[in-house]
Amino acid sequence: MYEALVRRDSSFEGLFVVGVKTTGIFCRPTCPARKPRPDNVEYFSSVQGALAAGYRPCLRCRPLEPAGAAPVWLRDLLAAVDADPGGRWSDADLRARGLDPARVRRWFRREHGMTFHGYRRARRLGAALGQIRQGAPLTDTAYAAGYESESGFRDAFARLFGTAPGRARRVTQVTVNRLTTPLGPMVAAATERALLLLEFSDRRMLERQIARLRSLVGARFAPGDGEILARTQAQLDEYFAGARTAFDIPLEVPGSAFQRAVWDELRRIPYGETRSYAEQAAAIGRPDAVRAVARANGDNRIAILIPCHRVVGSDGRLTGYGGHLWRKRALLDREVTAARAR
């Protein structure tokens, strides 16, 4: 754990916090503050344990906030963008708010894979796609999105969505956003009706999952928010607080009949319990398809809500989790602890 603290290893987020005896402060493993000596620290498996031992939360890494949450210095700007997605922001506007444009750009590249201006543009065009699909005229939509000409709007729209605005009424609009959890940020994607994707942002082959989903539903993705994403965040918060054992978010899970049978069976595994791959295969009437079941579990695009983390090897060992095995262990430990407390 001390090595993880020195390296600021983000894979240990959610597994422990560290109390510094000389300052009385506790931190995340990724805290950028100067590292104390090994004999001046002690470790806790939860924030509650550190608070109960008399430590105060660090003001730099803010361990009381969910991992992956936007930093305090950026929140006013994000709120302003949410309030007016079509607004224009120059580097001078950022400086007027006391923000360094380069710092803002680095954060958005790291967390969203695009610059701040690219993020704003995608938000505007995502809102425009929704208006077009509801029948709004193209000219009105272009000007409402902040474009001075319809031709400029058409070009930008086609670059982002791969289709002309006039054809967009037949396109499935999917809104993408980051959700926060104690185990790190997650990427969520939803239509107006259902959740399509929920994965940890560092999941192996996440890009391939998104590309496959885009092909299956004929969707165009754009950053934004909505009722389904807000409900998902709220229910995840309750789950990690130990107050929720089941979810009622509507899901859309395109796949083969076999895959859907496997995913349906995953949702039947009780909270705080586990099943082996062999038991799961037998439960769907395919006892000879253990490997195929394991592959279908790996193709699950909705983590936690479709609980593939509850499937283990026949000998009880943890195997095969795209969100990394340490998270699988953390999820199971939380569920078992909360189930025993009920």
Catalytic site positions:
27, 308
Instruction: Assign 81 to helix, strand or coil.
Output: helix
Burial code of 97-133, b = ≥16 C-beta within 10 A, e = fewer? Answer: eebebeebbeebeebbeeebbbbbbbbbbbbbbbbbe
Dihedral sign computed on CA atoms, order 154, 157, 162, 165 = negative
How many C-alpha atoms does 6 have within 13 Å on its Cβ side?
Answer: 6
The residues pairing with 172 across neighbouring beta strands, listed in sequence order, are 219
CA–CA separation, 172 and 169 (whole Å): 8
The helix-helix angle for 101-112 and 116-133 (nearest 10°) equals 60
CA–CA separation, 74 and 70 (whole Å): 7
Residue 325 in tokens? 């095995």
